[in-house]
Structure 1
Amino acid sequence: MDYSIRPLCYSHVDLPREFFGGVPIHSGEGVSASPMIYVLLSGQDDDGTVHHYLVDAGFHADKWIHRFGFYDWEPPEAVLAKVGVQPSEIEKIFLTHMHFDHANNVGAFPNADVYVQWEEYRGWLTALALPDLYTPLGEQSWITSSFDRDDARVFGELARDHRLKFLGDDEELAPGIRGHLSKDGHTFGTQWISVDTSGGPYVVAGDAVMWYSNVEEMWPSGYTNGNTYNMLMTYGQIYEYLKGEVNRIVPGHDTLVFERHPSWKVGANEVGEVHVASWDKVLRPA
């Protein structure tokens, strides 16, 4: 199977550079704009049937947009239309983790099964059951600062409807696509997604790698709900998997992905083409 890989920006946020780049290595460097991204993977069977999968799903604007000052937010139907796809055509969603900006909008894809690491799901349910001692700031306390409690109900409904699929390490998600566990890395069970193509392997990292600099400098991001040492070990695993070709990573929030690969803007948000499959056509305008 040969996949086209297209990162799609659906919003932007201005945050201190150390949030993504790490403390103190990028402290005091000011604020920069970072994209919020999900990634479209498109493959074709031998009989010509095209399959569309999504790595991560974004968030609802109404609840989260005000908390962190997001802007340029667009719904999935507008974002996917830029590459000729509708939300109803997404067959599978591979969640890198369950932070709101990656998992909160799974309900926008009515026909998709949702794949998540079991360690991730179990970890968040355990965290939600912590006593009030650990949430003195309410839902803005550290443990739920990037997790939407309402998503526990949404994922329960997905399980009820047989649409929630649990994974372990190094499991096949679709032909040529695998999920790799970063246990207690960025979160309880973050996974990074490897994708085989005719041009070699790529990694869609989600927040297993927020910025290219995390791997290039071997320095964990400043924000995490996990273990920074384990994050570092994951950077090394991805680096070795790709034999040092860091540009084969699609990071979770790095604007450089749209500079290191062909890209264009539709409105305020970027569309990228990291790889175009042999059966597919280039969508970037001439």
Structure 2
Amino acid sequence: MARDNFIGGDIHDGPMPMDYFVWAIVGRDRVIVVDTGFDEAMAAKRGREIVHPVAQGLAKIGIDPDAVPDVVITHMHYDHAGNHDLFPHARFHVQDREMAFCTGRCMCHEAVRHPFAVEDVKAMIDRLYAGRVRFHEPVDQLAPGITLHCVGGHSDGLQVLRVFTQRGWLVLASDAAHYYANLERELAYPVVFNIGDMMAGYDTVRRLADSEDHIVPGHDPRVLRIYPAAADDTEGWIARVDLPPITD
């Protein structure tokens, strides 16, 4: 419901569904996956529904998870850091601050640790000891035309990506803004570690993007309505956010 997605403000209550996204940045000679979603076991545990498994979506656009060299985890919440069997050869890119957060004293509090899954944290530690994790500074370049920016707020080490596309500088905001309405109405999302950082994060994503139309929020179903489908049979499933949005 709408009341579950905002702190404060005059929000008229009613159904407000939430989508879960995994992104692929496809360059001339490199693919970078952004976030890894969650699997059927986690969906059952959390009361969620998987409409299209991540591997199925990647295969549809010609991406083999076994061959993906780099995966960016925007933050370690269960819906962004699961599917541990995918991407067996990839390097995982995480903010130093996020890893310290999800393994530190704040996790003593159930209210703070609830969005995390211990399975995901342990899997990331396994990758770390296998030499497959790269930690990043608050602002860092991942590759030419791709930068990482730590904004915190929703989770202490949440990072967003600024990506140069054929239509200019795009920001994959992840959960720095769950919905367009969080930005438009300047209202915080209720799952928040630091509300001040969350509000400042809205300013950051606006500053990094060429325009409001260049910001892609983390869970808004409107994304799949306003962006062109990757192919005729991926309508409402796989979108091309490097192309301009269409008014819905």
Match in the other structure for 2:96: 118
User: Of 53, 73, 77, which aligns to 2:55?
Assistant: 77
Instruction: Provide TM-score, normalisation by structure 1.
Output: 0.78
Change (3 A) 1:246 1:182: same
Q: Once superposed, which parts of structure 1, at least 4 consecutive aligned residues long, lie more than 6 Å away?
A: none
Change (3 A) 1:238 1:113: same
Partners of 2:93 and 2:14 lie apart in 1 by: 36
Instruction: Compute the displacement of 1:27 (Å).
Output: 5.0
Partners of 2:119 and 2:111 lie apart in 1 by: 17
Higher relative contact order (CA 8 A, sep 6+): 1
User: Of 207, 217, 224, which aligns to 1:258?
Assistant: 224
Match in the other structure for 2:81: 103
Residue 192 (1) aligns with residue 160 (2): yes
Question: 2:225 touches 2:236 (CA, 8 Å); kept in 1?
Answer: no
Residue 58 (1) aligns with residue 47 (2): no
Instruction: Compute the displacement of 1:30 (Å).
Output: 2.4
Answer with 104-113 or 226-235: which moved more. Answer: 104-113
Residue 218 (1) aligns with residue 186 (2): yes
More strand per residue: 1
Number of aligned residue pairs: 242
Larger radius of gyration: 1
Instruction: Compute the displacement of 1:17 (Å).
Output: 2.0
Instruction: Compute the displacement of 1:267 (Å).
Output: 7.6
User: Of 87, 106, 126, which aligns to 1:157?
Assistant: 126
Name structure 2 gaps, 5 residues minimum: 244-248
Match in the other structure for 2:27: 43
RMSD: 2.1
Partners of 2:121 and 2:205 lie apart in 1 by: 30
Partners of 2:77 and 2:177 lie apart in 1 by: 14
Partners of 1:198 and 1:23 lie apart in 2 by: 36
Change (3 A) 1:246 1:266: same
Question: 1:172 touches 1:178 (CA, 8 Å); kept in 2?
Answer: yes
Instruction: Compute the displacement of 1:257 (Å).
Output: 1.0
Partner secondary structure for residue 79 of structure 2: helix
Instruction: Compute the displacement of 1:93 (Å).
Output: 0.8
Question: 1:58 touches 1:103 (CA, 8 Å); kept in 2?
Answer: yes
Instruction: Provide TM-score, normalisation by structure 2.
Output: 0.89
